[in-house]
Structure 1
Amino acid sequence: MTSITDDRSLIAHTGWGYFPVAFVARLPFAMMVVGVLTLVASVRGSVALAGLTSAAVGVGVVVAGPVIGDLVDRRGQRRVLVPVGLANGILLALFPVVVLTGMPEPVVLAAGALIGLTAPQAAALSRTRLVAIARHRIGGDRRERTLSRVMSYESAADETAFVIGPVLVGLLAAFLAPWAPIAVAAALSFAFVTAFALHPTAVMADRDAETAPARAPVRDVLSRPVLVLVAATFGVGLFFGSTLTSLTAFAQSTGDGEAAGLLYGLMGIGSAALALTVMLLPARFALRWRWLAFGAVLVAASAAYALAGDLVAVIVALSLMGLGVGPTLVTLFSLAGERSPAGRSATVMTLLASALTLAQAIAAGVTGALAEATSAQAAMALPLGAAALVLALGVVNARHDRAAEGPSGAAPARAR
């Protein structure tokens, strides 16, 4: 494709209206796992079933996510996202009926899996869309600066959505009804995912998808530098899922299970704040070292959470955990943007998003079962294991990058 570049800012190309639409379009994805967990736990009275249903959502996401990403890379965003968003809205609207009418557990699990299969990948596709606009519409030195800001903004927006999503679930479930969060997620999917899919910026991304001169083969996505990011994002998902479910068990043990989403949101306050400021960090603080630094914070805070014995200690630990997880997630997606093979940005981004959601759901299932079999306190130790995995993979990434630099110390294009 022939690029048409100029000196205008990214917002001049997208328009201000793009950003609120793209942000709200993320919320159904951010709300569905927590909303399913809360609804099933509240109505059926089983944290184990709720965790398994959330796991079914994650299985659906991981099966469909990379397929959706590949279809978008080949056919464009509008053709894929419009039918996916509408189908997801319908399935979300039907899920409370399935749970509230007492349908058998296999039907509940199947309904959760279908929600995951149609999960709209708005966050990954927004990142892909803005990167395409920056690369093909913005010229000169501004392009690289814009690409860096896009990655920071998108990761911060993801974090903020993952904060607002659970908080919305907690508020709606506590003040309206346990089915209210899923009903709201369905309405948002119908309205905002469709609006995001049809936004004029999609035309630019679709044109890139249709006319890309050299799309890398799928096997390039499975390279070691990309797979270590997928594995680390999976670890972050394990952290999210085990934290949320152990927190749900803790809240239920205090007689206020619907408050779990609100408590979970406390972790997101520091997470979102740090994610928004990552773009201000100096370039010499390389991405691989950020991964190690913030991963270490996550491990320390998770240890405090595992040892917390009362509500005040849990609140303090959750706040500290947010200081580690937000910047870590920003770093992983920034590295993914740099390491995506040509023409495979949507595939890589949806692969990371799928790994995050799958791990979150699997951890929810395992943690829920452990909480019911033993205690909430035992389940609260699991986030520490997930945090340790993220940090260990950061060490692997740093060692690989240092080896790739060679004796000269000059970093290759993809080793950051």
Structure 2
Amino acid sequence: MAGYDNQLEAEASTDAAVGPELAAELPALESTGTQPTRLIHAAGLSYFPVAFVARLPFAMMVVGVLTLVVAARGSIALGGITSAAVGLGTALLGPVLGMAVDRFGQRRVVLVAAIGNSLALLAFAWAAFAPVPDLALLGVAFLVGATAPQVSPLSRSRLVGIIQTALPRGVRAKTLNGTMAYESAADEIVFVFGPVIVGLLATTMNPAAPIIGAAVLTLIFVTAFAFHKSSRVASDAQTTDAAARAPFRELLKPRMLVLVLGVLGMGFFFGAMLTALTAFMDEVARPEEAGVLYGVMGIGSAILALSAAAFSPRFSMRARWLVFSLALVAGAVIAASATTIPVMILALALGGIGVGPTLVTIYGLVAARTPAGRSATAMTIAGSAIIVGQASSSAFVGILAEDAGAQLALLVPLAAALVVLLAGATNWVISSRDATR
């Protein structure tokens, strides 16, 4: 991978249509044979709907577990702790899954994860109502998180591999930037509507229905994701022999860790905002509308994420992170002082402007900075950071809102937004230092 010391020169260049940092850092992998010029042809048209639906169970897990435990055991505190156990499982085993993918390829690893996760979800749906101790329930929740296939980061890794090996070099930077924009928009949609689906299934059918539904979706669509022909196209970029694969310590350098901190902060923000917003709407006697209001942020975020592909190359990646995280902080400040629904809607709309483009930027930098042969590992670490942040902040804010009320709980999304801004500022310093060297 090209050195980041050329970043400032790359940022000043106007040859690349989009994403100068990406153009500077993309590995110069060569391909053979006839090359398609568009990602949709290289990956296959059916790939995108399959990958989109396959990521829904991951977005449903944390909220589904929380909803089921509260309904079955009658304890919000236990529900929060159980959700945190899901996040812990993902945090500890998610990167291991990524390392296995980098060594063996996606097909076998994802298939095993899909089967294991389906069984774990069904076991959790049974255990919630069964006469088993809370500790056993926490153990099953840990398995749910540990076996999560994490389609979202693996989709990013797969598409990055296809771009690097199957497309002409002249279109790689622009295609990668557009792909990160699409992937972030897709994440926004599923992370917003995942909780909505959970709520609809739980209220119209049974509290266990979201978890059972997630198990069925995992078995069908994640398996389809594993067997899709695109997994073969990307395998050359993802299965590297031990001699060519960069050591794991390369992922622990500051330029990579600051990106993990950024996505962790976004996870904190997602979980804290949804939970605090639910508490806020409960205090104004309209709790059933919390999901609708949350959608205001998600829809705007998805639109801006897609628009990120059209940003000028002069608007550098590190500058985008700072600008849009400031919008995130501004939205969180208004939300923390909101006392009426219209003000909260304004806060969510402003925050949504910052969410999508910030995620696009961070994931784009993850793709660009990933050491050789570590694509799936890096992406799953980032994906795990989001779910860990979401689960832990949901648990914390749930307890805080129950004890101290919504106004105090709404300070937590602001703290999370400040973490994202701090990570962006740190990234600016690190990239400037690298460029100087």
For the aligned pair, the TM-score class normalised by the smaller chain equals over 0.9
Structure 2 counterpart SS, 1:308:
coil
User: How big is the shift at 1:41?
Assistant: 2.8
Aligned to 2:149: 120
Report the CA distance shift for 1:211/1:108 in structure 2 as closer, same or farther (over 3 A). Answer: closer
Aligned to 1:409: none
Structure 1 counterpart SS, 2:234:
helix
Answering whether residue 380 of structure 2 is matched by residue 350 of structure 1, we say yes
User: How big is the shift at 1:8?
Assistant: 3.2
Aligned to 1:340: 370
User: How big is the shift at 1:149?
Assistant: 1.9
Report the CA distance shift for 1:46/1:376 in structure 2 as closer, same or farther (over 3 A). Answer: farther
Structure 2 counterpart SS, 1:141:
helix
1:16-415 to structure 2, matched below 5 A, reads 16-101=45-130, 103-211=132-240, 214-253=244-283, 257=287, 259-406=289-436
Most deviating of 252-261 and 357-366: 252-261
Structure 1 counterpart SS, 2:371:
coil
Q: Aligned letter for 2:401? A: A
Question: How well do the aligned residues superpose, as a CA RMSD in angstroms?
Answer: 2.0
Q: 1-side partners of 2:207 and 2:137: how far apart? A: 15
CA contact (8 A) 1:306 1:381 kept: yes
User: How big is the shift at 1:74?
Assistant: 0.6
Aligned to 2:31: 3
Report the CA distance shift for 1:262/1:39 in structure 2 as closer, same or farther (over 3 A). Answer: farther
User: How big is the shift at 1:181?
Assistant: 1.8
Most deviating of 170-179 and 155-164: 170-179
Report the CA distance shift for 1:94/1:7 in structure 2 as closer, same or farther (over 3 A). Answer: closer
Cα deviation code 1:259-307 (max 9, x no counterpart): 5444333321111111111111111111111111110111111011111
Q: Aligned letter for 1:353? A: G
CA contact (8 A) 2:240 2:373 kept: no
CA contact (8 A) 1:36 1:54 kept: yes
Q: Aligned letter for 1:124? A: P
User: How big is the shift at 1:152?
Assistant: 1.9
Structure 1 counterpart SS, 2:168:
coil
Unaligned runs of 5+ residues in structure 1 are 407-411
CA contact (8 A) 1:215 1:342 kept: yes
Q: 1-side partners of 2:48 and 2:195: how far apart? A: 21
> What is the number of residues matched between the two proteins?
407
CA contact (8 A) 1:61 1:118 kept: yes
Cα deviation code 1:290-329 (max 9, x no counterpart): 1111101111110111112233333332232212111111
Q: Aligned letter for 2:294? A: Y
Most deviating of 395-404 and 351-360: 395-404
Q: Kindly, what percent of the aligned residue pairs are identical?
A: 49
Q: 1-side partners of 2:122 and 2:36: how far apart? A: 45
Most deviating of 122-131 and 198-207: 198-207
Report the CA distance shift for 1:178/1:256 in structure 2 as closer, same or farther (over 3 A). Answer: farther
Structure 1 counterpart SS, 2:45:
coil
User: How big is the shift at 1:257?
Assistant: 5.0
Q: Aligned letter for 1:141? A: G
TM-score when normalising by structure 1: 0.92
Most deviating of 297-306 and 177-186: 177-186
Report the CA distance shift for 1:111/1:253 in structure 2 as closer, same or farther (over 3 A). Answer: farther
Cα deviation code 1:10-51 (max 9, x no counterpart): 211222111000111111111111211222234433332221
Cα deviation code 1:178-203 (max 9, x no counterpart): 32222221111010000000101111
Structure 2 counterpart SS, 1:149:
helix
CA contact (8 A) 1:170 1:259 kept: no
Most deviating of 168-177 and 319-328: 168-177
Q: 2-side partners of 1:96 and 1:365: how far apart? A: 20
Cα deviation code 1:204-223 (max 9, x no counterpart): 23344445572111111111
Q: 1-side partners of 2:404 and 2:223: how far apart? A: 44
Aligned to 2:44: 15
Structure 1 counterpart SS, 2:246:
coil
Report the CA distance shift for 1:80/1:214 in structure 2 as closer, same or farther (over 3 A). Answer: same
Q: 2-side partners of 1:257 and 1:41: how far apart? A: 16
